[in-house]
Amino acid sequence: MSYPFDRGHRTTPVSRRTFLQSAAAPTFISGALGPEGAGAAAPNLAPFFRTRGVVLVPSDITTWDWPRQAKRSGLTTIATHPTPHQVAAFIKSDAGQKFLEACGRLGIEVEHELHAMRDLLPRDLFAKDPTMFRMNEKGDRTADWNLCVHSKAAMQVVCENAVRYARVLGPTTGRYFYWIDDGRPMCRCPRCRGLSDSDQALILENAMLRALRPLDPRASLAHLAYANTYGAPSQVKPAEGVFLEFAPIHRNYDVPFRNRDCRFGHHTHGQLLDALDANLAVFGSDGAQALEYWLDESRFLRQLRMPRPPRIKIPWNRQVFRQDLETYAKRGIRQITTFAVKVDGQYLKRFGRPPLDEYGSDLKRWPDLGRVRG
């Protein structure tokens, strides 16, 4: 089941009382999970969190039966990662087709969350036209990352390739995720340098969405607030259908996100929460999604900063997770997903079943926490 939203309507954050009352409204659904479903909701009430998802790479999907496990845990959505060409190769394969068939049979939505620019603007085009690519701080054009959003040629190539990949990777929800290169800087040419990386990304996203609409009239597109794009756009307005996706990778998972004074690296939780609120003021909360890392073994491995880190058990803290849900819910965010990279067959053999049932259960039961608090 997909959950459409008003793409043009902007909302303001809601109070806890308001969202609890709205979540308790008598909206009825069918098809609730039976005894096997660890994420069973309160009887006949639609879950507050409409998207309850995980983000995976192909090797996770091919070594564990993720569609069946997602269904068991009460999740709605599986998204693939990391790049368009890698995911397209998987989807075209026999394993990818079996994955899509299983998701369709079980009612699991499929999306694709992708760091896309190196695929959408091939680097070998630099020899033909360097002005399509970004200028660095030294004033040199470089093909290392991203593009120049003031190059009409670059924007045309990106949009054409976004449509080309969409023909292979059409999400079942109509929600598209074509991100800029992973935390990499945008252009510093004379025309771009007055715009933040967030504003430049939004120019690109608005253009890609326009290109996608003839192919998929219901298309919407994510603006990823992450790393160098945490700051809200200030000079460019989102087109109707561009929604916020907020990914606070620079946070501490030992304590709740709402603990504003907690510091992780160069960021405090308070700085990240202020960035979230500023972005919600621009994009609204309708359709907004939190992209988290609660189940992402790869993120916790990188945190160890070891040359060849071992596999580790996910440091799951259910109480932190529950409080994080409240942090997002009180801002009106109803789409929640988490990276779960490296939660695969090898993980299962070494550590047993991941805390997927608790993740799905708490998401589906929110805000009916009488049975899950404590």
Average pLDDT across each block of 10 residues of the chain; the chain has 374 residues. List them in order. Answer: 30 38 33 38 74 98 98 98 98 98 98 98 98 98 98 98 98 98 97 98 98 98 98 98 97 97 94 98 98 95 73 95 98 98 96 97 83 36
Q: Tokens 């109070």 map to which residue?
A: 15
Residue 190 CA to chain centroid, in angstroms? 32
Could you give the CA distance from residue 272 to residue 290 in angstroms, rounded to a whole number? 12
pLDDT for res 308: 65
| Radius of gyration of the CA atoms of the chain, in A | 20
What are residue 290's phi and psi, to 5 degrees? Answer: -95, 125
Q: Are 180 and 115 in contact (CB under 8 A)?
A: yes
What are residue 77's phi and psi, to 5 degrees? Answer: -145, 135
Q: Which residues pair with 245 in a beta bridge?
A: 224, 289
Name which of 306, 323, 304, 185 is nearest 262 in CA terms: 323
Which is it for the CA torsion 163, 169, 174, 175, positive or negative? negative
pLDDT for res 369: 55
What are residue 183's phi and psi, to 5 degrees? Answer: 65, 20
Name which of 117, 118, 7, 109 is nearest 55 in CA terms: 109
pLDDT for res 365: 94
CA distances from 166 to 54, 281, 362 (A): 20, 29, 33
Q: Where are the beta strands (DSSP E) in 238-288?
A: 242-246, 263-264, 267-268
pLDDT for res 41: 44
Residue 50 CB neighbours (<10 A): 18
73's torsion region: left (phi>0), alpha (psi -120 to 50) or beta?
alpha
Q: Are 185 and 146 in contact (CB under 8 A)?
A: yes
Condensed to tens digits (0 to 9), the pLDDT of residues 136-152 reads: 999 999 999 999 999 99
ω into 13 cis (within 30 of 0): no
Could you give the CA distance from residue 362 to residue 301 in angstroms, rounded to a whole number? 25
Tokens for 360, please give them.
């799905």
pLDDT for res 43: 52
Could you give the CA distance from residue 294 to residue 296 in angstroms, rounded to a whole number? 6
pLDDT for res 322: 97
The model's pTM is 0.87
Condensed to tens digits (0 to 9), the pLDDT of residues 35-44 reads: 334 444 445 5
Could you give the CA distance from residue 275 to residue 199 in angstroms, rounded to a whole number? 14
Distance separating the N- and C-terminal Cα atoms of the chain: 31
Residue 326 CB neighbours (<10 A): 17
Could you give the CA distance from residue 348 to residue 74 in angstroms, rounded to a whole number? 19
